[in-house]
Homo-oligomer: A and B are copies of this chain.
Amino acid sequence: MTKHYIPEAWAFEFHGHRCPFMPIGYRMGGLAMDYLGVEREKDHGFFVFPEIGKGHPQTCMVDGIQIATGATYGKVLMEKTYYGKLAATFYHPQKEAVRYALKPDFMDNMGKFEFFDYRKRGIEPSKIPNHITDDVIKWVFEQPDDTVFKVEPRPDFKFSPVKGSFNKAKCSICGEYVFERYLRQKDGKPVCIPCSGYGR
């Protein structure tokens, strides 16, 4: 595997622990960027839709994708689809979209590593002995890209980010600022969603 797809030390610091999935996501993100011919996103122009959900393992992949692509959750460039799959679609407005997914055989082979025995016993990644974790990370690094990833162009994929606005107003009940899209009205006055009692 080329060095280009190996995360730097700060990537592990951001993520919080060593595990195989953050590096897998980092590599997926790097490969997708190279496929599309785009650079790491500095601002707000590259979108990623990971298919993970909640209540399942291996979601750490998504932190690797944030780190590699710069399409972060904070910049509103990433949104999970909640399909419960280890895959993601990468979309740049000037390019065609592409979807990367982990291959089932790769997942089966990786699942044999001792790291997962620990995880299934509920042991958190930071508590697993380093050599156990490093075994599986090293093995993943050694697998060729086309052993790990299924790649599909998605010419049909459509996405339009919502139109942004700087407008905001104070909630007439709590006094906090609310951006206009999320202002509601109650008794003729502007309110925030929690104060409205309307729910989302």
Q: Which residues of A contact B (CB under 8 A)?
A: 10, 13-17, 22, 25, 40-45, 52-57, 59-67, 70, 72-76, 78, 80-87, 101-102, 104, 107, 116, 119-120, 124-127, 150, 161-166, 168, 170, 175-183, 192-194, 200
Contact A57 B176 (CB under 8 A): no
- 27 example contacts (A-B, Cβ-Cβ < 8 A) are as follows A10-B13, A14-B14, A16-B40, A43-B124, A43-B127, A44-B124, A54-B161, A55-B162, A55-B163, A55-B181, A56-B180, A56-B181, A60-B75, A62-B74, A63-B73, A63-B74, A65-B74, A66-B73, A73-B78, A83-B192, A85-B176, A85-B177, A85-B182, A102-B177, A104-B176, A116-B166, A119-B166
Whether A120 touches B162, Cβ cut-off 8 Å, given contacts A15-B74, A42-B16, A62-B73, is no
Partner of A16, one of B61, B70, B107, B124: B70
Whether A178 touches B84, Cβ cut-off 8 Å, given contacts A14-B14, A16-B72, A74-B59, is yes
A168 and B107 CA atoms in complex are apart in Å by: 11
Chain copies in complex = 2
Please provide the 6 A-B residue pairs with the shortest distance between their CB atoms, ordered closest to farther: A84-B182, A63-B74, A56-B179, A62-B74, A10-B10, A43-B124
Q: A14 — which chain B residues lie within 8 A by C-beta? A: 10, 14, 66-67, 70, 72
Q: Which residue of B lies closest to A45 (CB)?
A: B124
